[in-house]
Amino acid sequence: MNKQRSRVSKVLSRELKLLPPGKFSLGWLTYGIGIKRWALLAILGLVLAALGASLSLAYVSVDFSLWLMETITNVTHTIVDSVTLGVAFLLAGAVCVAVGLFGIFKAVERVYANNAQSDFLQTALRQRRMDQGERVVAIGGGTGLSTMLRGLKEYTYNITAVVTMADDGGSSGKLREEGMLPPGDLRNCIAALADTEPLMEELFQYRFRGLGPLQGHSLGNLIMAAFSEMRGDFASAVREAARVLAIRGQVLPSTLDEIRLGAKCQDGSCVEGQSKINQTINIDHVYLMPDKPRALPAVIEAIQDAEMIIIGPGSLFTSILPNLLVPEIAAAIKSSMAPKVYVCNVMTQPHETDGFKASDHLRAITRHAGTGLVTHVLVNSGRIPPEMAERYAQSGATVVEADLDALRLLGVEPIRSNIVDVTNVVRHNPHKLASRIFRLVRKLV
């Protein structure tokens, strides 16, 4: 019943047409804004206070006073006079007014805490719609995941980003040497989901270019390092950093175990470390050390509760597969009845996925983590300008071929859509991608 009421209410709020400012709108009657209950309580308090004052000063009829006292006496078996009754009503009314006004204040504060829009009703309705949005889990790492999150947060606030902990390059690598888990990919996802001033996000992402030992570190990584030391654990540091940027949703590490990524090449040689694997040619498979890290319990809960699970986009071997190699995460995804969408990369990644078609990406996932992880594969149908494709070819990257028949033979449903953004680089357009994902989830759920 609650789910059905939520669905109906969601449709009503989406279709609701607001009146011009200054006129009463039926939008105020929408369930869940948090204003009506407190306003009614305040009005009730005023009525009680007025009735109490009238009884105390004998401003109401004698018949009514006698009837009211007789009724209360019969119910409570206590004899009361009109003055006592009036004072009690007056006090109860004052309490109701105070509580009602406080509730209204808190409702307004909740909506406007991180939102500068001027129209409260529109802001409240949007807040409620986003709070009631679909529950989505996005799994990956790197710039691909953070790019997609910027689009997803325009449709729902019920987002859980699950991020790989195998990063060992740059600022994250330096912090790992000091005994801290890598914060880089987490930081990017937190910034992507931020609902704060752009300057604050820019500051959080700022990377020092000088200043000696700070060179190469991003401020966000250092803030998370400070929170980790203050709170005593990495999970708390992630939560505090997310709170600072007032993110919409949550960002979770796939595991809190200290892991490293290894790769075995087709010639039998092995490479250790994500940053080195990025430059490795002819990867046969990747693995984690230790091989069975524990998943963060909150990640498993989010997957079990998800209405859609999204895998990717991002580097196949170094951003996506490290998450799926955590046994509990792979098992939770397989057991979920939600649609499971793999967002295929638009371009191949030099060294890692040279010559890979869409089906090759899916085969790699299946080979590493088993079947049942993907039900749909989203591939790009947008046009890549020849001059852009040529420029990428010079660095060893080519357009990923959407071999739809091969995908169907692998037991998944391919979905073609123009989800590309071609500017000075080729990458997924966060808004096109999110729009297509939510059209799919609303069709299937």
Give the Cα-Cα-Cα angle 258, 264, 267 (nearest 5 degrees): 160
Q: What are phi and psi of 261, to 5 degrees?
A: -100, 135
CA distance 193 to 204: 13
The pLDDT profile of the chain, 445 residues, written as one tens digit per residue, is 444 445 444 444 444 443 444 445 556 556 666 667 777 877 887 877 777 666 665 555 555 666 777 777 777 777 667 667 667 777 887 888 888 878 777 776 666 555 555 566 676 677 777 788 899 999 999 889 999 999 999 999 999 999 999 998 888 888 898 889 999 999 999 999 998 768 878 888 898 987 778 888 999 999 999 999 999 899 999 999 999 888 989 999 999 999 999 999 999 999 999 989 988 888 999 999 999 999 999 999 999 999 999 999 999 999 999 999 999 999 999 999 999 999 999 999 998 899 999 999 999 999 999 999 999 999 999 999 999 999 999 999 999 999 999 999 999 999 999 999 888 788 999 999 999 999 998 888 6
The 3-state DSSP class for residue 413 equals strand
pLDDT at 59: 54
Listed by start position, the domains of the chain span: 29-127, 133-164+254-444
**Farthest-apart Cα atoms in the chain, separation:** 102
Residue 294's pLDDT is: 97
Rg (CA), the chain: 28
The pTM of the full predicted model, rounded to 2 decimals, is 0.76
Q: Please tell us whether the domain made up of 133-164+254-444 is placed in CATH 3.40.50.10680.
A: yes
Q: Is the dihedral of CA 139, 142, 147, 153 positive or negative?
A: positive
Asked if residues 121 and 18 have their Cβ atoms less than 8 Å apart, the reply is yes
User: What is the C-alpha to C-alpha distance for residues 235 and 252, in angstroms, rounded to an integer?
Assistant: 8
**Tokens standing for residue 122:** 């529109």
* Under 8 Å between Cβ of 339 and 441: yes
Closest to 257 measured CA to CA, from 187, 182, 205: 182
Q: CA distances (Å), 173 to each of 128, 165, 177, in order?
A: 40, 11, 6
Residues 6+ apart with CB under 8 A from 1: none
By the 8 A CB rule, do 426 and 392 touch?
A: yes
Q: Where are the beta strands (DSSP E) in 104-149?
A: 136-140
Residue 33: φ, ψ to 5°: -70, -35
Helices (H) and strands (E) in the chain, counts: 19, 12
CA distance 293 to 327: 8
The answer for residues whose C-beta is within 8 angstroms of residue 156's C-beta and 6 or more apart is 130, 133, 134, 135, 136, 249, 438
Of 54, 104, 107, 125, the C-alpha closest to 83 is: 54
